[in-house]
Amino acid sequence: MGINEEKENKQILNAYRGILRSMKSNRSKEETKDIRKAFDVAVDAHKNMRRKSGEPYILHPIAVARICSDEIGLGPTSVICALLHDTVEDTELSLDDINKLFNSNVRNIIDGLTKLSGVFDLTTSAQAENFRKMLLTIPEDIRVILIKLADRLHNMRTLGSMRDDKRLKIASETSFLYAPIAHRLGLNNIKTELEDLSFKYMNQESYNEIEKKLEKTKPVRERFIQKFCSPIKKSLDEQSINYTIKARTKAINSINRKINEKGVDFEEIFDVFAIRIIIDSKPNEEKTECWKAYSLVTDHYIPNPERLRDWISHPKQNGYESLHTTVMSPTGKWVEVQIRSKRMDEIAEKGLAAHWKYKEKSTTNSGFEQWINQVRDLIENKSSDALDFINEFKTNNLYSDEIFVFTPKGELHTLPQNATPLDFAFGIHTEIGAKCIGAKVNSKLVPLSYTLKSGDQVEILTSKNQKPKEGWLDFIVTSKARNKIRQSLKDEKKVIAEDGKEILIRKLSGLKVDFDEKNLKELLLLYKLDEHTEMYFQIAKGKLDLKKIKEIVIKGGRLKFGSITKTIKNSFEALISKVSKSTEEILIGEGSDAKLDYKLSPCCNPLPGDNVFGFVTISDGIKIHRFNCPNAKQLRANYSYRIIPAKWKADKLEYFMAGIKFIGIDDVGLLNELTSIISEQEKVNMKSLNFNSDDGIFEGEIMLYVYDKHHLENLIQKLLNIESISQVERMEQSDIS
């Protein structure tokens, strides 16, 4: 037993010295003393603990500290925290002890790590909220997340000793969450290893199969690489460029993904490896020398112009800089060549996080800083459910490929793939997104759901009358846009609900019914709703028939909803009686303060300015129809006793939806001219545009928002002036449906 202890102590000490060697000059004498103190404290705290594998537990925090210093590039404070990261949770040590032994900085990081202990079950709100807390550390101290990633990486490297079910759970969680975070933080090596290890434990058979094939083809691959690189090396030497060439085999998980996505066998994948040229150049010469190397490579091999990726001019948001090209080899195989400087390679391997200047020096204008700001916006959106937050963060903030688009003035903006003009608008400013009514991409009008591509120039069209719409949620992809739209809809609903509440209070007062909680509960039962705000909202929108309240009034200002004994017929007859006794016209439109409730009939979509009349329906109150409504003749002839005079009163301008259809000759630029008149000249908002072309005949339908009949007629006249259009007319309901 003593011999084993001696061996273990030697193993522990060697592992500790490995940390110090990996840090080299990255520590002062005082910091070295603190690292030693942290090591001694951790050894003592964990002295009776062992891992599932049977080895001393202390080897785990030492390994995590080594990953922090060696593979991420973190400094002494992070190494100290890594050594101590499990002490507060698993041993007698408290946060106060840590504070006394070291400092408040170390204490706060340990506190953050302790809160994140254990395995996340991201299907529960509690653990999802726990993950949100982890991300809250980003704006304060990113080291919490970096140490957590190092901890996860070592756990994955030693996962073999765990039970099968535990392995699968941890591997799934790592693939779902930790690998994407490492990717976004620019920790490429760690991301790749986490993905591969996750794949290994989740798909052991496929992993082993690809691993064997890679091993089997290794000698052939190495001979090919040597032959391929030979002329490139010669040219680089002739130009006196200081360089290193590496061959990188693609990760097993990445190969498997290609096999599944493209439906091909292992043997058919051409880019199992990539050649990396790393140039040792001065900072001001990096770009020039990288492009010079590219020129030399393409002197020997023909490049695929569609596979050139210039992340030197426009780095990725996680700070990645590199020049990628795919060239044709003499044997007919495509080969990916990556060209970058030594500095770029260090950032690509260890991430911007490794060079993060805590507090004092912030990489303010970096893509990494932009990403942190996006995360901060997402976290601070208190209205989102924690599980929604996880999905939003995972889907939109981590693995999304990026596109680059420009403003009309040429400013560059980065967006995730499949982003729309609406995402772009919200990305510029929340107000611009909220007021967005349309967009021009490369000077052409496009729908808000249009999918942007890299290189697009985007101009946003706004209107002060515009408000976010629920339908926008169907096609936006960025978390910022989604959260702002949801919040705006929620806020707007509250404002509208207040109006509904006022309407209900007045209605109950007129019926001499108390506005109290008991009566409100009866109303919720009556209208089959769950909560007050929704009821007020529907009242304000005219979706609830308030006449029904009269039917459940009992004595003493009370409401009682049981079986409603009074029939719809009684309500209908009461309304007919009221209408017949009235000698006044019903005033309709905003600001009319109508004494009788009414609805605009969908069969003819009346607009201010149309000659209209009211018609008393059996179950839906008074409906307003146009005089020339397709149904007007029948209504007047058969039910004259149910007709009530009506006229418009519009003190304020209000939008109404109307439809027009047109026919013309299919001419180049017709659609552009048509939409230009509607949107730019007449400033009319379009809801939808449908058209088709058949043998030179161009037919279309447009749903739009207008103020009144004259507004619509003026627009129709303008459209008739287009030479190619022969017919424009207002749509009836039969046309719309």
Active site positions, annotated: 89-90
Residue listed under structure tokens 């082993």:
208
Six-digit token pair at 470? 């629920």
Q: Strand order of the sheet with strand 436-441?
A: 444-446, 436-441, 458-462
The single-letter DSSP state of residue 301 is: S
> What are the residues facing 612 on neighbouring strands?
626
For residue 356, how many C-alpha atoms fall within 13 Å in the half-sphere facing its CB? Answer: 29
Best CA proximity match to 150, nearest among 246, 240, 81, 50 = 81
Query: 34 with 79: CB under 8 angstroms?
Result: no
Q: How many CB atoms within 10 Å of residue 735?
A: 12
Helix (H, G, I), strand (E, B) or coil at 134: helix
Between CA 401 and CA 410, with CA 404 as vertex, the angle to 5 degrees is 170
> Residue 58's closest CA among 25, 26, 19, 21?
19
Cβ–Cβ under 8 Å, residues 490 and 466: no
As a whole number of angstroms, the distance between CA 78 and CA 145 comes to 11
Please tell me what DSSP assigns to residue 732: P
Instruction: Read off the tokens for 431.
Output: 């107000």
Paired strand residues for 446: 439
d(CA 732, CA 737): 9
CB neighbours of residue 305 within 10 Å: 8
Instruction: Label each residue of 446-478 as H, E or C.
Output: ECCCCCCCCCCEEEEEECCCCCCCHHHHHCCCC
Are 415 and 458 within 8 A, CB to CB?
no
DSSP 516-562: SHHHHHHHHHHHT-S-HHHHHHHHHTT-S-GGGGGGGEETTTEE--S
Q: Are strands 622-626 and 612-616 parallel, antiparallel or unpaired?
A: antiparallel
Q: Return the number of other C-beta atoms located less than 10 Å from residue 187's C-beta.
A: 29
Picking from 314, 532, 535, the residue whose alpha carbon sits closest to that of residue 413 is 314
Phi, psi dihedrals of residue 417, rounded to the nearest 5°:
-60, 150
Strand order in the sheet with 725-730: 685-694, 697-706, 656-665, 725-730
